[in-house]
Amino acid sequence: MAVTAAMVKELRERTGAGMMDCKNVLLETDGDTERAIEVLREKGLAKAAKKAGRVASEGLVRITFSQGNRAAAIAEVNSETDFVAKNEDFIGFVESVAQLAVETKWNNLEEFLALPQDQATLRDKLNGLIATIGENLNIRRVRKLERPGTVYVGYTHGGGKIGVVIGLETEASHEEVAVAGKDVAMQVASMNPKFIDESQVDPDYIESEKKILVQQALNEGKSADIVEKMVVGRLKKELKETCLLEQKFVKNPDVTVAQYLKEAAEALKKPLKVVEMVRYEVGEGIEKKEENFAEEVAKQIGG
């Protein structure tokens, strides 16, 4: 029986096994999908599918750069446990993911996962690692930054729990801006600003915050004639906390980040402007499932 692309796709979706593994097993079983699933399970190639429902909220963030730091990539790969996040094979895989991201062109995560890596696709490599390690693993997000006239600097914190990439528009070399760039990246890791400066703030966000602050002031019993002034002051304070350049510089709270960069640019005698900022923190936004250990043991015994 002829094996079609649709048959391979269905088997892959049902088992999580690699594309070539699915095709070869379908050829081996003469197109019998149910038997192919059994063969994949026998060979340990369908393990990825069994683990796909388990929450992967631990893991690592890795950053890599092109030559001269004119491009950068940041990737977050998740595991179920912190123990696996310290596994050498897992660490090597995450580093290879970031390296592939900076070396190739792709438009979205699906395209990225389909890229070839060591005579297989990245997705196949991921599924193979899942089968080897025995935990659900997930390439959660990847981003490549490559803006003309920009030099990239990065910082990772906590062994890869937080990763930051900063893009600096400048005529200076990477070596010249390495210290200032790392300082700013550390600021982002520590203070987690939402925007680079006020020009990036969505007007809808400002309008929404204004409404909240007005209601807060009215609830406090403030008279309507002074509410507007209060709201302007509170909004300005909030923007100073959420905009990178307005924040107090953590290494020297006497100056803002903008003032620190101005001094660094003057010392270099070259312009220095933050134009891109990416911060990944492992597991942020993932709902972690709390397991009852006794129930888990009982489930395994019963199963």
> Over the stretch 22-80, which tens digit does the pLDDT of each residue have?
888 899 999 888 888 878 877 766 655 556 556 678 999 999 999 999 999 999 999 99
Whether residue 90 is found in the same domain as residue 104: yes
- pLDDT over 50 at 15, yes or no: yes
Whether residue 75 is found in the same domain as residue 45: no
- pLDDT over 50 at 303, yes or no: no
- Type of residue found at 235: L
SS3 category, 148:
coil
Whether residue 10 is found in the same domain as residue 27: yes
In the chain, % of residues over pLDDT 90 = 55
Predicted model pTM: 0.75
- Taking the CA atoms of 43, 88, 77 and 151 in sequence, report the sign of the dihedral they define: negative
More confident site: 186 or 37 = 186
End residue of a domain, out of 226, 241, 256: 241
Considering only CA atoms, give the Rg of the chain.
25
What confidence score (pLDDT) does residue 287 get?
A: 64
What's 240's DSSP letter? Answer: H
- Taking the CA atoms of 209, 203, 260 and 187 in sequence, report the sign of the dihedral they define: positive
What confidence score (pLDDT) does residue 297 get?
A: 45
What CATH number did the domain enclosing 113 receive?
Answer: 3.30.479.20
Note whether residue 290 is domain-resident: no
- pLDDT over 90 at 147, yes or no: yes
What confidence score (pLDDT) does residue 118 get?
A: 83
What CATH number did the domain enclosing 217 receive?
Answer: 1.10.286
Q: What is the mean pLDDT of residues 136-156?
A: 96
Given a contact cutoff of 8 angstroms between Cβ atoms, the answer to whether 249 and 41 are in contact is: no
Whether residue 32 is found in the same domain as residue 47: yes
Q: How many independent structural domains does the chain possess? A: 3
- pLDDT over 70 at 111, yes or no: yes
Range of the domain at 64: 55-146
**DSSP of 175-222, one letter per residue?**
HHHHHHHHHHHHHHHHH--SBSSGGGS-HHHHHHHHHHHHHHHHHTT-
What confidence score (pLDDT) does residue 141 get?
A: 96
